[in-house]
Amino acid sequence: MSDEIVEALIESARVVRDNAHAPYSGFRVGAAVISESGKIYVGCNVESASFGATLCAERAAIAHMIAAGERRVVAIAVFVDATEPAMPCGICRQWISELGPHADVITATPSGTKRTTIDQLLPDPFVFKRAE
């Protein structure tokens, strides 16, 4: 993946982070995914007083992509305004793995980035197999 695409993903995630709804944690997260078509979709975290109902930025961006009719994540960038990059949580890793089994994962802060793949973050994902 080109440096220009990586930078566009990071910038898209940085910009949408400002829209996050994080009244409980104050931890605002932005995410951007690029699909097979090359289009970028964004999402931010949306917290709920019922913490289990909180939507992570990564899943919001993926849901945005799915709602637009696309089905494959090529790469995802996650941006936080913190010292250390924030890695996707377990549920987000599962979503990324199902919709982009070899997706690049880029985590970024104002001071730097870290690149990995979903294969490295979730080497043995859950796979549903219907009983015969």
Reported as a single tens digit per residue, the pLDDT across 72-98 is 999 999 999 999 999 999 999 999 999
Q: How confident is the model at residue 71 (pLDDT cuts 50, 70, 90)?
A: very high
Query: How much is the average pLDDT of 57-68?
Result: 98
Nearest to 89 by CA among 127, 66, 55, 126: 55
Architecture of domain 3-121: 3-Layer(aba) Sandwich (3.40)
What are the C-alpha distances in Å from 54 to residues 60, 67, 91?
A: 10, 19, 12
Among this protein's residues, is 70 annotated catalytic? no
Distance of CA 67 to the CA centre of its chain: 15
Q: How far apart are CA 9 and CA 13, in angstroms?
A: 6
Give the per-residue pLDDT at 121: 97
The pLDDT, as a whole number, for residue 131 is 83
- What pLDDT is stored for residue 15 in this prediction? 98
pLDDT tier, 129 (very low <50, low <70, confident <90, very high otherwise): confident
What residue type is 117 in one-letter code?
T
Catalytic residue (choose from 7, 47, 58, 98): 58
| Average pLDDT score over residue span 95-118 | 97
pLDDT of residue 130: 86
Residues 7-50 have pLDDT tens digits of 999 999 999 999 999 999 999 999 999 999 999 999 999 999 99
Q: Sketch the domain layout of the chain as residue ranges.
A: 3-121
